[in-house]
Chain A
Amino acid sequence: MTPAEPTRTAPAHTEPTRTEQATAGHVERLWAAVCDRDEHTAAEVVTGAAAAGLAPESVLLDVIAAVQRRVGQEWADNRITVAQEHAATAINERALAALALTAPTPAPTLGTITVACVDGEWHALPARLLAEVLRLRGFRVDYLGAQVPAPHLITHLHRTGPDAVALSSSIATRLPSAHATITACQAAGTPVIAGGAAFGPDGRYARLLGADAWAPDARAAADRLARSPLNRPAGGHQPIDDLPHLADQEYTMVSRTSGQLVKAMLSGLEETIPAMRSYTEAQREYTAQDLAHIVDYLGTALYVDDADLFTGFLTWTAGILTARSVPARFLVPALDLLAAELRDFPRSTALLTAGRSALPARDVPGDHDR
């Protein structure tokens, strides 16, 4: 929505506002059904919205996707657990399936698109939404779902010969996998359009990793693919050409030794923060997972050679931990310990220094409750 222009004198209640109000109503009802885990009502809300005249694409992207964003936000704000997020997503996905069954799909007149998630990506709903939008626009779609190992995808490409692959990834740490998948698809002669939060808000990582196109959302992706087919990739491309900095092997080293690095950080933290010594097994494991995330993101930042990816993750984590009433004060000492482990690696050291200065200083070490 654009802010109202002050010079305009038209009354506030214009046509779009009514549609928007109706859409907001559908969103609220679907949200309630999803929270109640009531798949029957959820299906009724979306099919009802379509029956009431809302375009199926709008039901998908302005109702179902809106509710899904809210599910993600609720998790980030610690109002629901990961398991509840999964349950809510499952209900939302069933509502989508109900809509897909009832909405009339035009006979495919445009090209064939394979929609898949990167290996290790479990957030399938954005890809599923895109698949349905593309179907509505007149594409023939092969939807492969979440967690697609690259060998399956490539076999599928050889078997079916689609015009493009739409590759979805929401988690930045899957970027190295995404790169491997993009280059594999291109080597099989198929161009790739990338989408999802992992590729950055401006799609910078999609460009960096050599994707043939990038779209900020499902609508834009469908628009792009409908405008003209993506060019077939030229042969002879070497993945290392995209990322010459990988020659220093820092990424390989950090990702291979991730377990040892986490161990070193964990035992170092136990010395620095005395309260950690009395952690329960579960608390210790949560902390180990947080530390493993730091190492994962450091590795990914090394892979794409972008400090923003690492600092962005750290400030986000600090926010999430605060939402979970966990003091984020272990972050700075953790970074210091990691920096000590990686002192011989110049790019890692620079990233960790940048990460440390992005975090507000924490002075008093104390409890890390869960």
Chain B
Amino acid sequence: MVLDGNGALLAANEVATLLVPPGDTVPDWLATASAADGRVHGDIGGRGFEAHPVPHGDDDSVTWWLVEDTDTRLAIEALRVERERTALLSEVSSALLASLNLDRCMDVTARLAAEHLADAAVVIAPAARHRYPAVLCVRDGDPVRTRLRVHPEDVPGLAEALQGFPPVPSRWIDPASTPDWLRPDGFGEIGSVVVTPLPGLGVAAGALVLLRRAGQPAFDEGEEVFARLFAARAGAAMSAARMFAQQNSITETLMRELLPPTLHQVGGVEFAGRYRAAQDTERIGGDFYDVHPTADDDESLAVLGDVCGKGLEAAVLTGKIRNTLHALLPMSGDHLRVLNRLNDTLVNPHSTRFATMVLASVRREGAGVRLRLTCAGHPPPFIVRADGQVEEVASRGNLVGVMPRIEATSTTVTLAPGETCLLFTDGITEAHGGPLGGELFGEDRLRRVLADCAGMPADAIVEHVQMLAAQWIGDRPHDDMAVVAITAPRGSHLTAVGGHGPGRYTA
């Protein structure tokens, strides 16, 4: 069509006449367009057009060639929306996958849903003890965690969504019948509500309820499809988090029994222990220690040992040995008998499970401490005297679990106040590393370290030894390392406490 300088229609070909019938005015966007600006876009009769100008040289009039671009523009618009959604889904995925914590996953789901899908969102997880963990979030607000004590049957589709069965699509519910517990405080009148199941990894992860205020458009088909994609991701993340939590609670429960105990004062004697597992991903391994008060009120039995193997399997064996030793406590007056009974339970023609250990019966005597020590195939402990002398305990014996009978000699040692008996596993002395790399930490170095530790409290000594060994190792691989210090306390205040009944000095 040809327009004059004021945008009035001068001429039009046949097709253009169909668009702008004679008598109609040319749309503003075209009438006011200048040829100097090149191509322009606009709608005529609900369809999109691109207008290409050809200025006439002699006057202000311009011939505009119109090309319809409705489909192109729809495609471009659809592409933009899809790109936005893909970007959003990828943001959603990375936000959801960051944490394996169920509460955090629900927070993130509620926040993202309120931000991108609705004015408010409620995420509800399957019930735990008759309560439904839920997170409410209003757009631009913070997620609020609650535990709902409600009947999900009150909301059409919610019970099925939470159960994951029978399969249900997203359900529209009547805004007027929305129960109060789904209405965020001060939200105002609800315009539309949709309940979407959160499908998990083979288990139902929960339900997502989206709310829009009155006056906002209801959810269209594209938005519902997108909400389902969102729900699939959120559901997968939530059920992964739930599975992790379940596995973790099983692991924690089983591990609790195998973790080295926290040692403290027993019977007026200081005990301290420290443990470092060979694998940084694990907290347990093949070394173990325990301190048990015995029925004979003032004597306690300390044990430190090392089983063959590494990792969880070794840790399970330490659990068995620790339980057996605990049960054998009544005979702790006779170390050899304890070791032989334990040996009987371990010797087995079908397996080669063995362990080395030190038993120490510990008794406070006046200001000092009397120790009866027996080594079964284990590196002998060191005694750190008050003057910095370091002595090796002279007890020897076979390891447990190999021979039908154990032979071992016990030794008695007395500690004066401030003196320590240090039990350790070979993970310390056989630590490889040092400033030059590849050197053994060795017993001599341990002796030198201990010579500096005269008069130190038990926990300071074990920490010092573990620290120096750890620094010796650096980033290199290492074995399990366990250290226990048995120390006769310095200072007079402890003697005042010592003496009557184990309960009084157990910290």
Do the two chains bind? yes
- Return chain B residues, CB-CB under 8 Å to A260: 437
Chain B 159-197 against A: per-residue CB contact (8 Å), 1 yes, 0 no? 000000000000000000000000000000000000000
Cα separation A258 to B436 with both chains bound (whole Å): 8
B91 contacts partner chain A, Cβ-Cβ < 8 Å: yes
B101 contacts partner chain A, Cβ-Cβ < 8 Å: yes
B280, A83: Cβ atoms under 8 Å?
no
B248 contacts partner chain A, Cβ-Cβ < 8 Å: yes
Cα separation A353 to B115 with both chains bound (whole Å): 55
Residue of A161, A190, A288, A291 near B103 (CB, 8 A) is: A161
A262 contacts partner chain B, Cβ-Cβ < 8 Å: yes
Among A20-28, A46-54, A150-158, the one that faces the other chain is A150-158
Residue of A38, A86, A119 near B464 (CB, 8 A) is: A86
B436, A187: Cβ atoms under 8 Å?
no
With A151-B280, A159-B248 in contact, is A90–B99 under 8 Å at CB?
no
B99, A259: Cβ atoms under 8 Å?
no
Residue of A91, A157, A158, A189 near B457 (CB, 8 A) is: A91
A161, B437: Cβ atoms under 8 Å?
no
Q: How far apart are A331's CB and chain B's nearest CB, in angstroms?
A: 16
With A90-B459, A282-B448 in contact, is A263–B103 under 8 Å at CB?
no
Cα separation A266 to B241 with both chains bound (whole Å): 53
B493 contacts partner chain A, Cβ-Cβ < 8 Å: yes
A188 contacts partner chain B, Cβ-Cβ < 8 Å: yes
A188, B453: Cβ atoms under 8 Å?
no
Cα separation A82 to B189 with both chains bound (whole Å): 69
Q: How far apart are B440's CB and chain A's nearest CB, in angstroms?
A: 13
Q: How far apart are B188's CB and chain A's nearest CB, in angstroms?
A: 27
B452, A83: Cβ atoms under 8 Å?
yes
- Return chain B residues, CB-CB under 8 Å to A86: 456, 460-461, 463-464, 467
Q: How far apart are A357's CB and chain B's nearest CB, in angstroms?
A: 26
Q: How far apart are B336's CB and chain A's nearest CB, in angstroms?
A: 36
B456, A258: Cβ atoms under 8 Å?
no
B463, A122: Cβ atoms under 8 Å?
yes
Cα separation A192 to B494 with both chains bound (whole Å): 43
Shortest Cβ distance from A97 into B: residue: B507
Chain B 416-451 against A: per-residue CB contact (8 Å), 1 yes, 0 no? 000000000000000000111110000000001100
- Return chain B residues, CB-CB under 8 Å to A235: 91, 94-95, 98
B435, A90: Cβ atoms under 8 Å?
no
With A90-B457, A152-B283 in contact, is A158–B99 under 8 Å at CB?
yes
With A38-B491, A81-B452, A158-B99 in contact, is A89–B436 under 8 Å at CB?
no
B88 contacts partner chain A, Cβ-Cβ < 8 Å: no
- Return chain A residues, CB-CB under 8 Å to B460: 83, 86-87, 89-90
A37, B101: Cβ atoms under 8 Å?
no
Residue of B101, B449, B470 near A159 (CB, 8 A) is: B101
A236, B94: Cβ atoms under 8 Å?
yes
- Return chain B residues, CB-CB under 8 Å to A282: 448
Q: How far apart are A169's CB and chain B's nearest CB, in angstroms?
A: 15
With A262-B436, A285-B435 in contact, is A189–B281 under 8 Å at CB?
no
Chain B 224-250 against A: per-residue CB contact (8 Å), 1 yes, 0 no? 000000000000000001001100100
Chain B 184-214 against A: per-residue CB contact (8 Å), 1 yes, 0 no? 0000000000000000000000000000000
The A210-260 residues at the B interface (CB cut-off 8 A) are: 235-236, 258-260
B310 contacts partner chain A, Cβ-Cβ < 8 Å: no
B490 contacts partner chain A, Cβ-Cβ < 8 Å: yes
A359 contacts partner chain B, Cβ-Cβ < 8 Å: no
B100 contacts partner chain A, Cβ-Cβ < 8 Å: yes
Residue of A38, A87, A89, A291 near B435 (CB, 8 A) is: A291
With A151-B281, A152-B280, A235-B91 in contact, is A188–B436 under 8 Å at CB?
no
B53 contacts partner chain A, Cβ-Cβ < 8 Å: no
B405 contacts partner chain A, Cβ-Cβ < 8 Å: no
B281, A289: Cβ atoms under 8 Å?
no
Cα separation A38 to B99 with both chains bound (whole Å): 46
B99, A288: Cβ atoms under 8 Å?
no
- Return chain A residues, CB-CB under 8 Å to B281: 149, 151-152
Q: How far apart are A282's CB and chain B's nearest CB, in angstroms?
A: 7
B470, A120: Cβ atoms under 8 Å?
yes
Residue of B104, B438, B456, B467 near A122 (CB, 8 A) is: B467
- Return chain B residues, CB-CB under 8 Å to A83: 449, 452-453, 456, 460, 464
Cα separation A189 to B280 with both chains bound (whole Å): 22
Shortest Cβ distance from A91 into B: residue: B457
A189, B98: Cβ atoms under 8 Å?
yes
- Return chain A residues, CB-CB under 8 Å to B94: 235-236
B455 contacts partner chain A, Cβ-Cβ < 8 Å: yes
The B345-376 residues at the A interface (CB cut-off 8 A) are: none
A147 contacts partner chain B, Cβ-Cβ < 8 Å: yes
With A86-B460, A122-B463 in contact, is A259–B104 under 8 Å at CB?
no
- Return chain A residues, CB-CB under 8 Å to B470: 120, 122, 147
Residue of B99, B101, B456 near A87 (CB, 8 A) is: B456
Cα separation A13 to B281 with both chains bound (whole Å): 57
Q: How far apart are B281's CB and chain A's nearest CB, in angstroms?
A: 4
Shortest Cβ distance from B451 into A: residue: A83
Cα separation A89 to B464 with both chains bound (whole Å): 11
B463, A161: Cβ atoms under 8 Å?
no
The B454-507 residues at the A interface (CB cut-off 8 A) are: 455-457, 459-461, 463-464, 467, 470, 490-491, 493
Cα separation A105 to B35 with both chains bound (whole Å): 77
A292 contacts partner chain B, Cβ-Cβ < 8 Å: yes
A292, B493: Cβ atoms under 8 Å?
no
- Return chain A residues, CB-CB under 8 Å to B491: 37-40
Cα separation A81 to B454 with both chains bound (whole Å): 12
B437, A160: Cβ atoms under 8 Å?
no
Cα separation A190 to B100 with both chains bound (whole Å): 11
B435, A262: Cβ atoms under 8 Å?
yes
Q: How far apart are B485's CB and chain A's nearest CB, in angstroms?
A: 11
B101, A288: Cβ atoms under 8 Å?
no
Cα separation A91 to B283 with both chains bound (whole Å): 27
Q: How far apart are A80's CB and chain B's nearest CB, in angstroms?
A: 11
B456, A161: Cβ atoms under 8 Å?
no
- Return chain A residues, CB-CB under 8 Å to B103: 161
A40, B493: Cβ atoms under 8 Å?
yes
A37, B455: Cβ atoms under 8 Å?
yes
Cα separation A285 to B468 with both chains bound (whole Å): 14
- Return chain A residues, CB-CB under 8 Å to B436: 259, 262-263, 266, 288, 292
- Return chain A residues, CB-CB under 8 Å to B435: 259, 262, 285, 288-289, 291-292
Cα separation A216 to B459 with both chains bound (whole Å): 29
Q: How far apart are A58's CB and chain B's nearest CB, in angstroms?
A: 26
Cα separation A151 to B491 with both chains bound (whole Å): 41
The chain A residues found within 8 Å of chain B, CB to CB, are 37-40, 81-83, 86-87, 89-91, 119-120, 122, 147, 149-152, 155, 157-161, 187-190, 235-236, 258-260, 262-263, 266, 282, 285, 288-289, 291-292
27 intermolecular pairs with C-beta atoms under 8 Å apart: A37-B455, A37-B457, A38-B491, A81-B452, A83-B449, A86-B456, A86-B461, A120-B470, A149-B281, A151-B280, A155-B248, A157-B101, A158-B101, A158-B241, A158-B248, A161-B101, A187-B98, A189-B95, A235-B91, A235-B94, A259-B435, A259-B436, A259-B437, A260-B437, A262-B435, A285-B434, A291-B435
3 nearest A-B pairs in the assembled complex, by CB-CB distance? A259-B437, A189-B98, A161-B101
* Given A83-B464, A87-B460, 17 additional A-B pairs, CB 8 A: A39-B491, A83-B453, A86-B456, A122-B463, A122-B470, A152-B281, A152-B283, A157-B101, A158-B101, A158-B241, A159-B245, A159-B248, A188-B98, A235-B95, A262-B435, A289-B435, A292-B436
